[in-house]
Structure 1
C-alpha cells in the first residue's frame, strides 16, 4: 500500500502523487472502501480517486537508471511487424496493456519507423497509428521525464534522435 506523498504510475492517468489515503462510502452507507486520492503530475488541477483494491493497475515509477538503459537500448527493441493495419493495432494494444515502459517504447518505435517509411513512400500517416502513438508516447515520455527529472521534450528528443541514428 502506498502512502501520502508517494509517486506512482497509474494505468490511465500517468505519474501521480498520492495526496490522501482514506475510507470513503461513494455508494452510500455500507459501501466503505479505502481509496487513493491522486494528483496527476502532468495534469495540474486534475484529481483521480481510485480504490486501493481496484482492478486499475498502479505501480512504482521506474527509476532514472532503468530509463537511461532503455534509451541506450532503444535500437535493440522489438518492432511490431504485423502486415495488416488491424492486426498491427491489436498487437500495439496488447503491448500497451502490459503496463511496462519497455513495451510502450517498442510501440512508439514501431509506429515511428512505420510512419517514416510511409512518408518516404509518399503515403499519408495512418490515423489509427497516430491515435495509438499519442497514448503510448504520452505514457512513456511522462514517466521518463519524471524519473529522469527533466522535461518531456528532452526525453522525446533523446528517444527519437537515437532512432534516427544521431546519438549512437
Structure 2
C-alpha cells in the first residue's frame, strides 16, 4: 500500500503525488471503499483511484539511480523509425509503447520517432501529425518521471540528458586513449 506523499506513476497521467487516502461519498459506491487521492505533479488534475483496484495501472516512480542508468544507456540504444503500412498500425504501435509504462520503452519510442523525424527532414518531407503527437506524449511521461526521480525541473531534463551523454562520451574517449597507450 502506498502512503500519503508518495510519488507514483499513474496510467497515462504520469507522475502524481498521493495527497490523501480516504473514503469518498460517491453515489453508487461502497461508503467504506478507500481511495488514493492523486494530484498530477505536472498538471492540474485530481484523480480518485480505488485502493483495491487491479484494473488501473499505478506504480512507484523510478529511483534516481535507475534514472541515471537509463540515461547512461541511451547512447547504446539502436532506435529505428517505425513505418506502419496503415495509420491504425502506427497508432497501435505507439499506444503499446505508451501503455507499457516503462521508461526504457518510452526512450526507445522517442528515439524511434526522432529517427523518423530526421528521415522526413532529410527527404524534405513533412513530419507526420500522429508521430508528433505521440512523441510529445512519450516525452511528457518520460521527462516527468525522470524529473521527479532526479529532483530537477521537468523543463531541465532534456539538457540534463544531453550533458550527461556528452560526459559519458568524453569518459569513453579518455578510456580508449589510455588503452591505446
* Same fold, judged at TM 0.5 (above): yes
* TM-score normalised according to structure 1 size: 0.86
Larger-Rg structure: 2
- Structure 2: how far apart are the matches of 1:78 and 1:11? 26
In the superposition, relative to structure 1, how do residues 95 and 30 fare at CA in structure 2: closer, same or farther (>3 Å)? Answer: closer
Q: CA RMSD in A?
A: 2.2
TM-aligned CA deviation for residue 166 of structure 1:
5.1
TM-aligned CA deviation for residue 123 of structure 1:
0.9
- Structure 1: how far apart are the matches of 2:79 and 2:15? 26
In the superposition, relative to structure 1, how do residues 65 and 80 fare at CA in structure 2: closer, same or farther (>3 Å)? Answer: same
Offset from partner CA, 1:77-116 (integer Å, 9 cap, x none)? 2525443253343222112111111111111111111101
- Structure 2: how far apart are the matches of 1:58 and 1:16? 10
- 1:106-145 pair list within 5 angstroms: 106-145=108-147
Which residue of structure 1 aligns with residue 179 of structure 2?
A: none
Which residue of structure 2 aligns with residue 35 of structure 1?
A: 35
Structure 2 residue runs of 5 or longer lacking an equivalent are 170-181
- Structure 2: how far apart are the matches of 1:58 and 1:68? 22
What SS does structure 1 have at the residue aligned with 2:131?
A: helix
Which residue of structure 2 aligns with residue 58 of structure 1?
A: 58
State the aligned residue count: 164
Offset from partner CA, 1:44-91 (integer Å, 9 cap, x none)? x43111111231211011011111111111122252544325334322
Which residue of structure 1 aligns with residue 79 of structure 2?
A: 79
- Structure 1: how far apart are the matches of 2:82 and 2:144? 27
- Structure 1: how far apart are the matches of 2:29 and 2:83? 53
- Structure 1: how far apart are the matches of 2:35 and 2:79? 38
Structure 1 residue runs of 5 or longer lacking an equivalent are none
Which residue of structure 1 aligns with residue 16 of structure 2?
A: 16
Which residue of structure 2 aligns with residue 101 of structure 1?
A: 103
Q: Is the 8 A contact 1:26 1:32 kept in 2?
A: no
* TM-score normalised according to structure 2 size: 0.80
TM-aligned CA deviation for residue 35 of structure 1:
0.6
Structure that is richer in helix per residue: 2
Q: Is the 8 A contact 2:39 2:47 kept in 1?
A: yes
- Structure 2: how far apart are the matches of 1:150 and 1:140? 13
